[in-house]
Amino acid sequence: MTWNLLYDEYKRSLALAAEPRALPLFPLLPDGYEIALGEQSFAVMAIQYMLGEIRLQYDNIEAVAQTGIYNEETDTAIREFQTRNLLPATGTVNKTTWDLLVGAYELIYKDNKQ
Q: Which tens digits make up the pLDDT trace of 54-100? A: 988 888 888 899 999 999 999 999 999 999 999 999 999 999 999 99
Highest mean pLDDT among 10-24, 26-40, 76-90: 76-90
pLDDT of the residue at 114: 58
Are 35 and 41 contacting, i.e. CB atoms less than 8 angstroms apart? yes
CATH numbers and ranges of domains, the chain: 34-113 (1.10.101.10)
Q: What is the pLDDT of residue 64?
A: 93
